[in-house]
Amino acid sequence: MIRRMRRYRQQLEDSDAINVLKNGYRGVLSLYGDDGYPYWVPVNYYLENDGHIYIHCAGEGHKIDALKKYDKVSFTVLEEQPRDPDDFAFYVKSVIVFGRIHMVEDREKVLKNVLSMARHIFPDKMEEYYKADLERNKNRVHMLAITPEYITGKLVHER
């Protein structure tokens, strides 16, 4: 059971939380790691129109070992808001996604989504650069997909 947000008056509307995810590209993936320790790792991501969060990764390592043991994850994104010049505190929108993660096995989907992620993160780069890099690394690149089960967002004025 997912807990209700304690400071629920600061909770974002669902559409605002989704927009934070859509506009972002860097988040922290939290998995159940070795010896029961939480394993948090910063990652690049892309929210696809199909509702999944796609994460570029290697085919082996701590993340992959952890998700093979336990597929439940949380994923956090922060979006800093403009500051009031007369205030030292920050306004921050944060989103936490609870869901399940798996390795994307369909190579065509991996390559398509890696290219979409690159366009999202670096929109000013030429597509030829992405395609050339992807061509060189197409057999090594992997992708994870988070299927969200619960998404919650919050606007915080940090003091």
- Distance, CA of 94 to CA of 25 (rounded, Å): 13
Question: Cβ distance 30 to 24 under 8 Å?
Answer: no
φ, ψ of residue 151 in degrees (nearest 5): -130, 130
What pTM, to 2 d.p., does this model score? 0.87
pLDDT of residue 89: 74
Please state, in angstroms and rounded to a whole number, the distance separating the CA atoms of residues 155 and 82: 12
For the chain, list residues with pLDDT below 70: 1, 126-129, 158-159
pLDDT of residue 129: 67
